[in-house]
Amino acid sequence: NAGVTQTPKFQVLKTGQSMTLQCAQDMNHEYMSWYRQDPGMGLRLIHYSVGAGITDQGEVPNGYNVSRSTTEDFPLRLLSAAPSQTSVYFCASSRQTGIYVTEAFFGQGTRLTVV
């Protein structure tokens, strides 16, 4: 049981390049989300999905696209990378683990540097 798998672990991009951060989970969770983590800012929600075919914007969606064609995969696309997108990106999937208890399972993160 791999949990949430993110690839790549590290990436350097030039300004203006595009790329896709991959995220896959094998726990059959309906809810998946992407966060970025910056020093002093905590984790901020970029986009989320409540099931295949359904996505919505989080707190900081500009410059990012997502799609959800299957339950397992939730890729994050950077359209035209900017230095402000230098960050550590975390993908998470969530499930209810008890009465009124929801647990988010995070991947190991992708450290992205835009130069």
Partner 1 sequence: QQQVKQSPQSLIVQKGGISIINCAYENTAFDYFPWYQQFPGKGPALLIAIRPDVSEKKEGRFTISFNKSAKQFSLHIMDSQPGDSATYFCAASNPARGSNFGNEKLTFGTGTRLTIIP
Residues lying near partner 1 in the complex (CB under 8 A): 4, 30-31, 33, 35, 40-45, 48, 50-51, 54, 56, 58-59, 90, 92, 94, 96, 100-104, 106-109
Q: What's the closest the beta carbon of residue 61 comes to partner 1, in angstroms?
A: 13
Q: What's the closest the beta carbon of residue 53 comes to partner 1, in angstroms?
A: 11
Question: Which residue, 30 or 72, has its beta carbon nearer to partner 1?
Answer: 30
HEC profile of 33-93: EEEEEECCCEEEEEEEEEECCEEEECCCCCCEEECCCCCCECCEEECCCCHHHCEEEEEEE
Question: Which residue, 12 or 16, has its beta carbon nearer to partner 1?
Answer: 12
Q: Decide: 75 and 21 in contact? Cβ < 8 Å.
A: yes
Q: What's the closest the beta carbon of residue 56 comes to partner 1, in angstroms?
A: 6
Q: What's the closest the beta carbon of residue 43 comes to partner 1, in angstroms?
A: 4
Q: Decide: 15 and 81 in contact? Cβ < 8 Å.
A: yes
